[in-house]
Amino acid sequence: MTTQQEKATAHTAQATHTKAPLDAVTQAKRPRFTRAQLLAGIIALLCLIVGIPSWVIQMTTVQFGEGLVTWGLNIDLFFLSAGIGSSLLAVTGLSLFGVLPGVYAQRKFLSIISFACLFVASWIVFVDAGTPLRVFSIIFSPQFNSLFVWDFYFIALAALISLIILFKREPKRALGCLGIVFGLAVTITEGCVLAVSVGTPHWSLNIGIPILFVLEGMIAALALILLISRVPQEEKRLVNALLALLAAALVVNAVDVLVGAYLGSGIEATTIAVMVVGGLAPLFWGQILLGLLVPLILLAIRRTRVSISCAAVLAIVGVFLGKLMTLLSGQAVLADGTLSTYMPSLLELGACVGYVGFVLLIVLVGMQIVAHRAAQNESVLVSEELA
Residues lying near another protein in the complex (CB under 8 A) are found at 61-64, 70-71, 125, 128-132, 134-135, 137-138, 141-143, 145-149, 152, 193-194, 196-200, 203, 330-331, 334-336
Say how far apart CA 97 and CA 186 lie, in whole Å.
21
Say how far apart CA 359 and CA 118 lie, in whole Å.
9
Rounded to a whole number of angstroms, the minimum distance from the CB of residue 130 to another protein is 2
Rounded to a whole number of angstroms, the minimum distance from the CB of residue 271 to another protein is 14
Nearer to another protein, 196 or 259 (CB): 196
Q: Minimal CA–CA distance to 200: which of 344, 343, 339, 334?
A: 334
Say how far apart CA 228 and CA 235 lie, in whole Å.
12
Say how far apart CA 358 and CA 78 lie, in whole Å.
13
Nearer to another protein, 135 or 269 (CB): 135
Rounded to a whole number of angstroms, the minimum distance from the CB of residue 364 to another protein is 30
Nearer to another protein, 9 or 70 (CB): 70
- How many Cα neighbours within 13 Å face the side chain of 154? 26
Nearer to another protein, 21 or 337 (CB): 337
Question: Could you tell me the CA-to-CA distances from 232 to 71, 89, 106 in Å, in that order?
Answer: 40, 20, 12
Asked if residues 87 and 121 have their Cβ atoms less than 8 Å apart, the reply is no
Rounded to a whole number of angstroms, the minimum distance from the CB of residue 245 to another protein is 27
Nearer to another protein, 112 or 138 (CB): 138
Rounded to a whole number of angstroms, the minimum distance from the CB of residue 335 to another protein is 4
Nearer to another protein, 120 or 224 (CB): 120
Say how far apart CA 339 and CA 310 lie, in whole Å.
36
Asked if residues 357 and 46 have their Cβ atoms less than 8 Å apart, the reply is yes
Residue 19 burial by Cβ neighbours in a 10 Å radius (0-12, 13-18, 19+): exposed
For the chain, strand residue ranges (E) read: 66-67, 342-343
Rounded to a whole number of angstroms, the minimum distance from the CB of residue 123 to another protein is 14
Give me Rg for the CA atoms of the chain.
22
Say how far apart CA 94 and CA 237 lie, in whole Å.
14
Amino acid at 74: N
Nearer to another protein, 204 or 368 (CB): 204
Rounded to a whole number of angstroms, the minimum distance from the CB of residue 4 to another protein is 47
Rounded to a whole number of angstroms, the minimum distance from the CB of residue 131 to another protein is 4
Nearer to another protein, 136 or 167 (CB): 136
Say how far apart CA 188 and CA 210 lie, in whole Å.
5
Rounded to a whole number of angstroms, the minimum distance from the CB of residue 212 to another protein is 17
Nearer to another protein, 193 or 364 (CB): 193
Amino acid at 182: F
Say how far apart CA 197 and CA 108 lie, in whole Å.
37
- Give CA angle at 83 (82, 84), nearest 5°: 95
